[in-house]
Amino acid sequence: MSSISATAGPLDVQSIVSQLIQADSQPLTQSQQRVSNYQSELSTLGQVSSALSSLQSAATTLASGTFLQQFTASSSDGTVASVSATSGGTAGTYALNVTQMAQSRQLVFDRTSGGTSITDQNATLSGAPSSLTFNVGGTSSTVQLGSNVSLSSIASSINSAGIGVNASIVQYNNNYSLVLNSSQSGSTNTFSITAGGTDSNGTSGNTLAGLQQSSTAASESANAQNALMTVNGVSVSSSSNTVTNVVNGASITLEKLGQTTINMSQNTSGIASTLQTFISAYNQVVSTTNSATTSTTTVGSTPTNTDISSDLTGLHDQLAGLLGTPVSGVDPVNSYAYLAQVGITQNADGTLSLNSTTFNAALAANPSAVSNLFGNPQNTGIGNVFNTTINSLLGPGGMITSDQTNINSQVTTEQQLQQQLQSQLSTEQTNLLTEYSNLNSELAQMEQASTSMANLIA
């Protein structure tokens, strides 16, 4: 609105016009309050939508059934083999006997071509070729060495080539050695020198780029080999000391030769945690809808044209009804058709709670029936129907989306109304200001005339 000013006179034009405009502003104030109420409803719907999305995610996890395939793995002797659970698995006990560790091929060179020790890793080597050729796992690769070949330049060139051979320099008693290792262990990942040196594939007789082996270096060299073991009497060979395909659902790391027992048991605490995620998500939906339906959607005498409380009450009842509906085609007497049969029960306030003891007993007694309760190919499990129902609620034609669209439309209508009312009030203020200013001027003139006449009579 424009600012109010007044011609000096007996009337307080500013106060009079302000009071009149304030009285006529009630429709605008009521519209603004309705918009505030609509925004509050939209916020509530947003919270409900978020809670439903979390519940749907948790229900999808239950429907997949994979959450029941959580296992813990342990080793009776961690110095022989350590173990960790991966995914899937089967409960059981596995006797592991490690008879050979996997190792990569290693070659050590500690002498120049003249047979002397190497005291400077950067010194140029005499008799060194300009390139080396390796065969790594059946693939031939050439490494260019260039000129002024030294121990450090050989290591750098091999590592930069990325051919599956790692090179390192070791210093001991002021002497340097070049150590070559296969990047991966096992006989299928071994390497050999095919040009730029001689390779006996044994423990001696090897040369490389102007380098030789002492007897010590020859003894430090080793051929590649696979890990050998038996699992419950079955012979197993592995190119790596980390074995992932022997015990389903477990990754075993071999530490040394010896015997140990691998135990796979169902991870009941992990399964309970997944169930609790679903329960907490459901309880959050209950809490959010209860808060919305118990609070008023009006302030004073300014009602809105929408009422989401009835819709949210219906949503709450719809989800609660799913809990009381048995899984289709399941005999509740001989199997599990209700969540309550596996320890998930509904409290008086509508929330859910889990009895882990009851659930674990049901899982141990009939794991396939428990899995079918939460999800199955017919999409009739609890997780399946929750997923489908929430999909419908949050979809383009669902209740949540429809209510949000309706409320946003009401907000737009109110905002347009406010613009009209604001324009009317501005015009009214301008007119009133003019009228009362003119009246004030006339009264001032009359007052002045009256004063003059009184003075003349006196």
pLDDT of residue 8: 53
Choose the most confident range, by mean pLDDT, from 65-69, 124-128, 213-217, 275-279. Answer: 275-279
- pLDDT score, position 201: 65
pLDDT of 292 reads: 79
Which amino acid belongs to residue 189?
N
* pLDDT at position 20: 73
DSSP for 299-348 reads BTTB--S--HHHHHHHHHHHHHHHHTSPPTT--TTTS--SGGGGTEEE-T
| Residues in Cβ contact with 118 at an 8 Å cutoff, skipping those fewer than 6 apart | 110, 111, 112, 151, 175, 176, 177
Backbone φ, ψ for residue 18 (5° rounding): -60, -40
Mean pLDDT of 38-57: 92
* Of the candidates 327, 443, 309, the residue with the CA atom closest to the CA atom of residue 384: 327
Better-predicted residue by pLDDT, 419 or 256: 256
Mean pLDDT of the 6-33 span: 72
Strands (E), 120-226: 131-136, 139-144, 165-172, 175-182, 191-195, 197-198, 207-208, 211-212
Tell me the one-letter amino acid at 356: S
How sure is the predictor about 300, in pLDDT bands with cuts at 50, 70 and 90?
A: very low
pLDDT, tens digit, 9 for 90 and up, residues 140-167: 999 999 888 999 999 999 999 999 999 9
The average pLDDT across 56-66 equals 93
For the stretch 131-144, pLDDT in tens is 999 999 889 999 99
- Rounded to 5 degrees, φ, ψ at 392 are -70, -40
Angle CA(328)–CA(399)–CA(340) in degrees, nearest 5? 35
Q: Going edge to edge, which strands form the sheet with 242-243? A: 81-85, 250-254, 242-243
Say yes or no to pLDDT of 41 above 70: yes
Instruction: Give the start-to-end residue ranges of the domains of the chain.
Output: 26-66+269-405, 71-101+226-266, 106-220
Average pLDDT, integer, range 84-90: 86
Which is nearest to 75 in space by CA: 209, 245, 255? Answer: 255
pLDDT reading at 16 higher than 80: no
Closest among 312, 453, 322, 338 to 388, alpha carbons compared: 322
Lowest mean pLDDT, pick from 118-122, 139-143, 308-312: 308-312
The one-letter amino acid at 354: L
Residue 458 pLDDT class (50, 70, 90 cuts): low
3-state secondary structure of 383: helix
- Residue matched to tokens 């129902």: 389
Q: What 3-state DSSP class applies to 390?
A: helix
What average pLDDT does the structure give for the chain?
87
Taking each helix axis from N to C end, the angle separating 399-457 and 308-323, rounded to the nearest 10 degrees, works out to 160
Distances (CA, A) of 147 to 48, 82, 144, 163, 324: 72, 48, 10, 21, 82
The pTM of the full predicted model, rounded to 2 decimals, is 0.66
What pLDDT, in 10s, does the model give residues 411-439?
888 888 878 878 877 776 777 767 767 77
pLDDT-based confidence at residue 198 (cuts at 50, 70, 90): confident
For the sheet containing 71-75, what is the strand order? 71-75, 258-266, 92-100, 227-231, 234-238
Q: 209 with 149: CB under 8 angstroms?
A: yes
Kindly state the average pLDDT of the residues 66-78.
Answer: 92
